[in-house]
Amino acid sequence: MIPATNSAYATPWWLHGGNLQSIWPSLVTPEPRVAYRRERWDTPDGDFIDLDWLPWVEGAPLVVLFHGLEGSSQSHYARAIMHALQQRGWNGCVPHFRGCSGELNLLPRAYHSGDSAEIDWVLRRVAGQYKPARLYAAGASLGGNALLKWAGEQGEAAGELVSAVAAISAPLDLAAAGHALGRGFNMLYTRMFLASLIKKSLAKLALHPGIFDAARLREARDLYEFDNLVTAPLHGFRDTDDYWARASAKPWLARVAVPALALNARNDPFLPAIALPGPADVSTSVTLEYPDTGGHCGFTAGALPPGHLQWLPQRLITFFEHHP
pLDDT score for 24: 37
Neighbouring residues of 284: CB distance < 8 A, sequence distance ≥ 6: none
pLDDT score for 5: 32
Neighbouring residues of 322: CB distance < 8 A, sequence distance ≥ 6: none
Residue 148 CB-density burial (10 A; 0-12 exposed, 13-18 middle, 19+ buried):
buried
Whats the size of the chain, residue-wise? 324
* Known catalytic residue at 67: no
Q: Say whether pLDDT at 27 is over 80.
A: no
pLDDT score for 305: 44
Of the listed 141, 163, 201, 285, which one is catalytic?
Answer: 141
* Known catalytic residue at 179: no
Q: Say whether pLDDT at 142 is over 90.
A: yes
pLDDT band at 187 (very low <50, low <70, confident <90, very high): confident
- What confidence tens digit (pLDDT) does each residue in 107-140 have? 999 999 999 999 999 999 999 999 999 999 999 9
Of the listed 16, 112, 296, 323, which one is catalytic?
Answer: 296
CB contact burial 8-17 (16+ within 10 A = b; e otherwise): ebbbbeebbb
* Known catalytic residue at 83: no
SS3 content of the chain, % helix, strand, coil (to 5): 40, 15, 45
pLDDT band at 308 (very low <50, low <70, confident <90, very high): low
Lowest mean pLDDT among 63-67, 132-136, 190-194, 301-305: 301-305
Lowest mean pLDDT among 22-36, 86-100, 185-199: 22-36
pLDDT band at 302 (very low <50, low <70, confident <90, very high): low
Q: Say whether pLDDT at 12 is over 50.
A: no
Q: Say whether pLDDT at 57 is over 60.
A: yes
What's the average model confidence in pLDDT over 20-31? 46
Distances (CA, A) of 26 to 83, 88, 154: 20, 27, 42
Cβ(72)–Cβ(94) under 8 Å? yes
pLDDT score for 30: 60
pLDDT score for 303: 52
* Helix ranges restricted to H, 101-249: 116-130, 142-154, 174-180, 187-207, 214-218, 223-226, 232-234, 240-247
User: In order of start, what are the domains of the chain with their CATH numbers?
Assistant: 7-171+249-321 (3.40.50.1820), 174-247 (no CATH)
Q: Say whether pLDDT at 10 is over 80.
A: no
Q: Say whether pLDDT at 11 is over 60.
A: no
What's the average model confidence in pLDDT over 236-254? 98
Q: Say whether pLDDT at 28 is over 90.
A: no
Of the listed 50, 52, 115, 268, which one is catalytic?
Answer: 268
Q: Max CA-CA distance within the chain?
A: 53
What does the mean pLDDT of the chain come to? 88
pLDDT score for 29: 55
Q: Say whether pLDDT at 9 is over 80.
A: no
pTM over 0.75: yes
Q: Say whether pLDDT at 262 is over 70.
A: yes
Lowest mean pLDDT among 25-29, 228-232, 264-268: 25-29
What's the average model confidence in pLDDT over 233-247? 97
E strand or H helix that includes residue 71? none
